[in-house]
Each structure stands twice: as C-alpha cells, then as structure tokens.
Structure 1
Amino acid sequence: MQVFHTPAAVSVSFDEPNLVGSAGLVPMMELAAESGLHQLAGRRLTVPTDKGANAGAKVAALVAGMCAGADSIDDMAVLRHGAMKRLFNACYAPSTLGSFLRSFTFGHVRQLDAVASGVLANLSGRAPVLGSPGTGQLVYVDVDDTIIEVHGYQKQGSGYGYSGVRGINALLATATTDTAAPVILGQRLRRGAVGSPRGAARMIADALATLKRLPPGPGARVLVRADSAFYGHATVATALKAGADVSVTVRMNPAVKAAIATIDDDAWAGIEYPEAIYDETTGTWTSKAEVAEVAFTAFTSRKKAERIPGRLVVRRIPELNPKDTNQPTLFDTHRFHAFFTTVDPEALDTVAADKAHRGHAVIEQVNADLKDSALAHLPSGHFGANSAWLVCAVMAYNLNRTAGILAAGAFAKARTGTNRARLVNIPARIASSARRIRIRLPEAWPWQQGFERLFTAVHPPPQPA
C-alpha cells in the first residue's frame, strides 16, 4: 500500500468535533448499563464522599476506557475526544479518575469485588457466557497467579516473586467449558513476594460462590484445576466442601514416587501427544507419552478425618538425557507428571482425566490477554488503586467477552484485543437529525455483520406503531 497523493498535497488538522474513534463503546456501555454496573457500584461502594461522589459513573468510565484499550490512567483521556461527550455523559478527566482510584482501601476493593461478581451474574443472564453444558458435562474452574512486572521502588507491595522479576502478584480464578471461552470469576492483587497458595482457599470459595450465580446448566459438574503450587489441604478441602471435584498437580514427594512405583508396566496407555501416531485398526495411540493411574489418598500426614481419597493420574515421557546410562532406574529413564483428582473414573477415565487436566493451560491465555490490555501496567504507586484497577480490568474483560458472544461467529472465542480492534475501536462521525443521533460508520467495514449483531442485541429496533 502506498500513499496516493504526494506528501506536499496532504495535510492534517485536529479540528473535527463530530468524530469519535471508538464507536463500539456505544453498544458496549449499553451492555454494561444493562448488567447493572452503574447501580451496583453506586450502591455498594463507600469511598469517601470527596473522592467517591458518583462512584458508579467513575467505575463505568474506568471500564469504558479499558474496553477502548487504555492501560494507564493517562490513557483515560481517550474518553474525552471529538464527539464523545455527545454520546456519553460523565467523561471524567484522567486526574479525577486517578484521585478516585487512590482513595480505595482494602475494604473498598472487596466491595468492588462484589460489584464485579454481580455484573458477571447479570451478564450471564444476557448471554450464555458458559455455553450450555448439560448433564454430566464439566465446568472447569482454573486457579493460577501471575506476576505483573513493575519498575522502580515506588510501587507499594512490589517485590521479587517466583519469576525472578520485580512485580506484583495477581491471583485469578476463571470458568470455562468445552464450548465457551473463559470468563473471570474472581481476582485478587497481592504483594510480589507472596507465596502462590496464600489466600487461594478464599479465592476458590468466592469463585465457586460466584459460579453458582451463573446458570451453568442442569446436571453440570464443576472441576477445579490448579498446578502444584496450590496442592494443599486447605484449597482441596474448600473445593470439595463447595461440591466441586479437583484436579491438582502434585509435587514428586516420596509418597507420590512410591505410588508411581506400584504401577504395572502393562497399565500404561499411549495418549494423543506431539508426534503421536493413531492406529485405526486397534483404535489406540502409539505415543512417547503414556498415562496410568493408581488409587491414592492425599494428605496422609493429617488426621484420618482430613485425609482425602482419590486417584493419582500419572503421565510419563522418556527421559532424553538420563543421568546414568549404565544402570538406568525407573525415575532416570522417564519423566513423570502426576496430578491428584477426585473425579469418578466412570465420568473420566485415565486418558480423559489427563486431557482434561492439561486444559488448565487455558488460564495462561487469560493472563496474556489481560497483560495485552489493561494489565500491561499497574498505573499507580498506591496498592489500593492498583487493586481496584485489577477489578475494573476484569469487568472490562468479562464485558468484552459477553459482547463477543452477542456478536456471534468468530467473535465468541476471539481474544479481547481482537474484539477491541474489530468491534470497539471503529471510527465514526456523529450526525443529528430530528433530535436523533446517527452514528455513521466506515463503508465496507470488514466486520460489519458482527457489529450489527452486537448493536441490535443491545439496541433492539423500534416496534411498529
């Protein structure tokens, strides 16, 4: 592509008052209003009056800016260009929103957590955010944490965590099904040097309570998945108490190694894995990776009432660099990856349980998605402000995900950055006629049909007289 005119024949001027760069915010914020964002935030938040006046409108402004791609407080100026004030009220200045965020304490953040939970519940009534899982199908609740890198010593709570970089730790809980992309059930910002399992039991309890407010479908079962950092009695017992099953990676301690050593050689079955070959005659996979399982009781060091029976599912892969080729042993010739699960074998056999557990990696896509959006930075030096920023980022993520479902097609599972570029950040010109506003969008916009489906879903056409 090349500029058609010569450079001397082209000029620019920022003087058009009827243009907007993010016309997709109109259906997006209508959807937010339908989900009760303004009312829930205005009713629940008790931020001091001098900073928290019109709290619902300020939270909605933060979410709107994030939906348009803002990843810092200064970026909230995107809400104040062109004809935005003709489409929206309460287009606050970045300085006003920054002062509002800095007034948040831990208690206020917890109030905002409740707002995010209520908004997600209302969005689930607007669109099937979990698809339509039926009887016997699984809803996966994934728990994981991630380090958001920061620079300098001015950020409250920053420190060096497991990743070796200076940052602040964000703990997330997501829900997904085989037919729906993830939505975020809960979030918590923690100091950077915190251990991963700290507060995880409370997070799981809150996430499962939020999940009960969503209609996952009659007979659907819940499976909580996590990595080895969250393998502990508190997290597993909390999930079981709430009626969910668990699938948690275990550390290779002596008890686990002893259990693996009892597995017969004939018990291992090949699985679909990189470089695997499927034999159509026998209906099996010829693969370097194999799985087997053995009965296992977790937390045997605790009293009998607190021990949890289940299954230890093990995946083994040949060790390409054995420690001693002259005298190979079981744990030198294979690498073992084991996880503990309480799912009934009749519901998920060994191979299916392993495949379901490996799906836990979907939460890494959510982490990357957030860091490609509002969590590219934690914009304030105040820990409470950053905590509130995280909750607003989660609400923007869930709002974007719901809008994608209403737009249907490929938008339902697309990354939020993709939906933002195709559905939200659309340039438009505002025209008025007979006291009605008409948004004039670009001709031949490639994703016109998806935008029209979303717009019609939140702006139904007027009924004939």
Structure 2
Amino acid sequence: MAQGVLPFQYKEQVQTSGLTALAGLPAYLELAHIAGLRDAIRRHLHVRSDSRQGWCDEQIVMALILLNLVGGESVADLEQLEADEGLCRLLRQIEYHGLPRKERRLLERRRKKAGRTVPSASPVFRYLAAFHDPQEETRRIPGSAFIPAPNECLRALGRVNQEMVAFVQNRNVQREATLDMDATLVSSDKTQALWCYDGYRAYQPLNVYWFEQDLVVHSEFRDGNVPAGYQQLRLLQETLEHLPDGVDKVMLRSDTAGYQQDLLRYCAEGSNERFGAIEFAIGANVSQSFRQAVGEVEEGNWLPIRRTDPDGRQYDTGQQWAEVCYVPSWAGMSKNGPGYRYLATRKRLHNQLELLGCETVADPEQMQAPSGERYKIYGIVTNRDIDGNELIQWYRERCGKSEEVHAVMKDDLAGGKLPSGDFGENAAWWGIMILALNLNAAMKRLVLPPSFRCKRLKAVRFGLINLAGQVRERSRQLHILISPKQPALGLLLHIRERIIDLARGAPEVVVGS
C-alpha cells in the first residue's frame, strides 16, 4: 500500500548501521578537547563528582553544549542526540580517549547502568536544580530590583568560561579589549518570571562582549524587572578580573543604561590598578539641561555623519553631529578631575500629518531647529580625544554586533527558551549556552576559513554540522564516511589540520601591539 503521493516509502532500519546526521559535530568536540573544556568542567564543577553512579558533570554539561550547537531548544531535545546512533558511537569513544583505566571503567559502568549515551531529561533537570539557591529567594523584596547571589556551582560555571576565553586569547593574542555592555530581554511564560519594562514576563541577562575576540567574557543572569543600568560598575569590575593575560588596554561601550556616575568616574579616573584609565563612549541621557545645551549649538557647527562602505568610500548618512558645551554638576565638582566630552547627534524627522482628534505626545528627544525642521536628538559622553565622526562610527559598532550576538543567543542557540521557573536553573542554562556560543566563536576565529567569520550559526550548521555520514570501526579506529560529492569533506580535513596546529601550540597571532 502506498504511503503517500510520491514514489518513496519510510521503513525502519533493522540493523544498526552507524548512520549519523551530524557528521560535522565531532570537529567541535575535537576543538573542545584541545581547548581543555572537558577538563575545566571536571576541575571546577563538582555537582556530581562525588557520586560513583549516574551522570558526571562533564557528561551533562557537554551534552547540553552539543544540544545548543545542533539547534536544540529544550532538555527534551536531548532525545534527538540519543537517537543518532552514529554520533553516540563517536561520543562513547571520544569520552574514553586519554583517560586512565580506572576512570574509563567508572564511566563504562555508569553508562551500562543508564543504558544511554546522552543523559535523559530527568537527570538533567536534577542536575540544573543544584544551581538554584532557595535561600536567596527569601531575600527578595517585592517591587524592588534584586540579583540573587550565585552559588558555588554558578561561580564554577563562570570559571569554566573564563578558561575558554583564555584559550582563545592564548592562540590569538589581542592587546586591546573593546567591551560592549548590553542587556537583553528573554521572554518567559513561567509565573515566577517578573514583568519587564516592555510589559511582559521576562528575564534580562546583562552581557559583556569582547569585540576583538567575538567572545562573551562575562554574563550575569537577572530578573526582568532589574534595570539594565543596575550595578553595571560591579559587573565591569568582575569582567576586568576575568580578562586573560596579554590585554594591555580596555575600552568600553554602552547605551544609556551605562550612563551611571560611578561607572563613568571609575573609567575616567583610572581607578583600575591593572588597566588604569578606560576609554569609553556611552549614551547620554537627553535631559532638560542637555537639550538646552544642544539648542545653543550654532547651526553652522552641525557636521554631517559619514560612514565608509566596504570599498573604502565614504557616504553621507543624512544625520549630523556637533560638540556640545555641557558639563553636568557631578562632572564639574573637581578642577583637577578628568574631562568629559559630550556630543549630540540628530536625525531629521519627516513631517507627519497628525490624525484628526489625536493629541501629539511630547518627546524629550525631539527638538526644533531655527529653520523649523524637527530632529531626533541623541547624546554621547566620552573621554576619547578623536574625531567626532570616527567616534560615532566606533560607538555604533556596538549596536550592530552586540545585538547580533543577542539574536544568536536567543534564536540560534537555546538561550531564548528557558527550561524552568527557578532562577538558578535558568541561570545555569544561560551559562552553558554561553559556553556553546564561545566554542562556536573559537571555531570561526581559530579554525574555519575567513569566509565563515561573519556567518551565523544556522549557516555553519547547514554547511558543516548537519552532514550525513556513516561511522565504522576498522582496526580499532573509527572512520566517519562522507560522500565524495559532499563539498564539506575538504573543509573537514582542513579543520582537523588546523586543530592539530593549535594542539601543538601554533605561533601566536598578536594583534594590536
């Protein structure tokens, strides 16, 4: 009997053949191996290390990292990995590689008892529960911003990410670190999630992204009602402690959430012992006094904002910028204190007909020029002494890249679908997603050809990870058979050669010296 309209049928494979739909995924496992990711998990995380039964830390965390890389969104999606017989065969052999006999036998006994290669949902949920601290929940005050203190498990997860960042820096040394601080909203239908400023239940992690390395150095999971600017100085200080050796200079970019007096002073006054003064460009609030200062700018002092296209040619964006003579009271308290430079940008608003019977809502960021044109006004505060047009272009790089990273976190990886109503469990899920994000960034920066540098993860999956293959064993050696017509076969061979170079400690690439 025909199954459908077209001439094909689905049938169950009777014999195990070692087929896999993820033949490119082992390349990530190999990179994770030389990066010491599994070892770092074993050293820092001790949630399951004392138990001689069940799944250990590295098995669960690595399974969730792989789940992120292949596009899984929930704990239940681990069943898709378990169903991939060829991948499971590889995972078992890779996991035992290089282990002493005693540890290998312990893992084998654990696997035989579980009867699986990949953990199921139940032990993973029990594992994530160890990252939640119910005692911290009792400290909440209704209606106020509160950030639960991370327990030792969450802090250990941060140390694992710190080692991952250090590995990339060791192989591709960057002397400068441009840090982009930005929060992102993650919607949630859990009743424990709090309401965000956009009017829905959400969480709002605050992330610090290292522009030169394409890595997230630090991330703090937060409730949706916590303002993005809340305790940003503390998060910056923690990030500076996490930066690996080799970084000599730090610069900071943030939107208006970073317009905090303590943060600006800390950067401008050189309070950090390691890095001294930190150059920054941060969005400034358009207050009444700032509007007044902008209104005093002569029309002839407004200059066009230009950008440079990929061919090196400049073009006019239709926007303008000007230096603003503006000194807020907090910045002018000391004659010997650092200087703060304020810039304003404006964009002309096209005339819009008001609807009959509708009242116009006053917008504090809109101003009318003497010519009668109306403009949208934005402010920037900085301590950098460079051309204003160059500064604005540098500042706006934050918007394009950090917003893209947030989209990858929530759309390409599993950060957009949180598994629990417990804060700590969601924080651990988010932290493991960051490990997967940085592992993929390391793959693109250190291993893949330059043409992959700007590709999103879904494009990498299509061209590298989601490949059909067959896993066979011959003379105690595993072989992954790929069709000779598959163009990614040459890419996989290139990847393995590059990973061998990294494992041997290939010459460091020093940038920005």
Scaled by the length of structure 2, what TM-score is found? 0.76
* Distance in 1 between residues matched to 2:314 and 2:47, nearest whole Å: 61
* Distance in 1 between residues matched to 2:54 and 2:390, nearest whole Å: 50
The one of 276, 287, 301 aligned to 1:253: 287
Cα displacement (A) at 1:25: 2.1
Change (3 A) 1:76 1:9: closer
The one of 88, 96, 100 aligned to 2:127: 100
Cα displacement (A) at 1:93: 2.4
- Give the stretch that moved more between structures: 290-299 or 140-149: 290-299
Matched, 1:87 2:126: no
Check conservation: 1:59, 1:392, Cα contact below 8 A.
yes
* Distance in 2 between residues matched to 1:171 and 1:239, nearest whole Å: 19
Match of 1:11 in 2: 10
The one of 265, 287, 293 aligned to 1:237: 265
Match of 1:269 in 2: 303
* Distance in 1 between residues matched to 2:283 and 2:324, nearest whole Å: 15
Match of 1:118 in 2: 163
Match of 1:40 in 2: 40
CA deviation string 1:128-153 (max 9, x = no partner): 3x7x67xxxx6421111111111141
Match of 2:254 in 1: 226
* Distance in 2 between residues matched to 1:9 and 1:342, nearest whole Å: 67
Change (3 A) 1:295 1:111: farther
Where 1:202 maps in the other structure, the secondary structure is: helix
CA deviation string 1:89-147 (max 9, x = no partner): 36322322221111113212122111111112113324x3x7x67xxxx6421111111
* Distance in 2 between residues matched to 1:246 and 1:92, nearest whole Å: 45
Matched, 1:367 2:406: yes
* Distance in 2 between residues matched to 1:9 and 1:335, nearest whole Å: 60
* Distance in 2 between residues matched to 1:380 and 1:55, nearest whole Å: 20
Match of 1:392 in 2: 432
Cα displacement (A) at 1:377: 0.2
The one of 229, 237, 247 aligned to 1:205: 237
Cα displacement (A) at 1:85: 2.9
The one of 308, 313, 318 aligned to 2:343: 313
Change (3 A) 1:461 1:228: closer
Cα displacement (A) at 1:381: 2.3
Change (3 A) 1:52 1:262: farther
Change (3 A) 1:164 1:452: farther
* Distance in 1 between residues matched to 2:395 and 2:281, nearest whole Å: 6
How many residue pairs get aligned? The number is: 431
- Give the stretch that moved more between structures: 357-366 or 256-265: 256-265
Change (3 A) 1:374 1:442: farther
CA deviation string 1:220-257 (max 9, x = no partner): x4321111122102332344434321111011113322
* Distance in 1 between residues matched to 2:409 and 2:423, nearest whole Å: 18
Cα displacement (A) at 1:199: 3.1
Check conservation: 2:68, 2:414, Cα contact below 8 A.
yes
Matched, 1:68 2:70: yes
Match of 2:208 in 1: 173
Matched, 1:28 2:68: no
Match of 2:472 in 1: 431
Cα displacement (A) at 1:215: 4.1
Where 1:83 maps in the other structure, the secondary structure is: helix
Where 2:318 maps in the other structure, the secondary structure is: coil
Cα displacement (A) at 1:342: 0.8
Where 1:309 maps in the other structure, the secondary structure is: coil
Where 2:182 maps in the other structure, the secondary structure is: strand
* Distance in 2 between residues matched to 1:462 and 1:59, nearest whole Å: 23
Match of 1:288 in 2: 318
Where 1:162 maps in the other structure, the secondary structure is: coil
Letter in 2 for 1:379: P
Matched, 1:196 2:198: no
CA deviation string 1:165-206 (max 9, x = no partner): 2111111110113xx6x2211111111111111232222222
The one of 421, 426, 444 aligned to 2:485: 444
Check conservation: 1:297, 1:309, Cα contact below 8 A.
no
Where does the alignment leave 5 or more consecutive residues of structure 2 unmatched?
93-116, 133-149, 353-359, 505-513
Where does the alignment leave 5 or more consecutive residues of structure 1 unmatched?
none
Scaled by the length of structure 1, what TM-score is found? 0.83
Letter in 2 for 1:87: L
* Distance in 1 between residues matched to 2:43 and 2:502, nearest whole Å: 31
Change (3 A) 1:305 1:384: farther
Check conservation: 1:52, 1:100, Cα contact below 8 A.
no
* Distance in 2 between residues matched to 1:52 and 1:118, nearest whole Å: 26
* Distance in 2 between residues matched to 1:307 and 1:262, nearest whole Å: 25
* Distance in 2 between residues matched to 1:63 and 1:306, nearest whole Å: 51
Cα displacement (A) at 1:57: 3.0
Letter in 2 for 1:245: E
* Distance in 1 between residues matched to 2:314 and 2:19, nearest whole Å: 60
Cα displacement (A) at 1:384: 1.0
Match of 2:141 in 1: none
Check conservation: 2:306, 2:314, Cα contact below 8 A.
no
Letter in 1 for 2:231: G
Matched, 1:143 2:176: no
Where 2:186 maps in the other structure, the secondary structure is: strand
Change (3 A) 1:52 1:192: farther
* Distance in 2 between residues matched to 1:287 and 1:26, nearest whole Å: 45
* Distance in 1 between residues matched to 2:219 and 2:231, nearest whole Å: 11
Matched, 1:187 2:219: yes
Where 2:431 maps in the other structure, the secondary structure is: helix
Where 1:173 maps in the other structure, the secondary structure is: strand
Identity %: 21
* Distance in 2 between residues matched to 1:289 and 1:234, nearest whole Å: 31
The one of 333, 341, 360 aligned to 2:374: 333
* Distance in 2 between residues matched to 1:392 and 1:290, nearest whole Å: 42
Cα displacement (A) at 1:445: 2.3
Match of 1:382 in 2: 422
Change (3 A) 1:349 1:122: same
Letter in 1 for 2:342: L
Check conservation: 1:295, 1:310, Cα contact below 8 A.
no
Check conservation: 1:225, 1:247, Cα contact below 8 A.
yes
* Distance in 2 between residues matched to 1:273 and 1:435, nearest whole Å: 58
Matched, 1:163 2:208: no
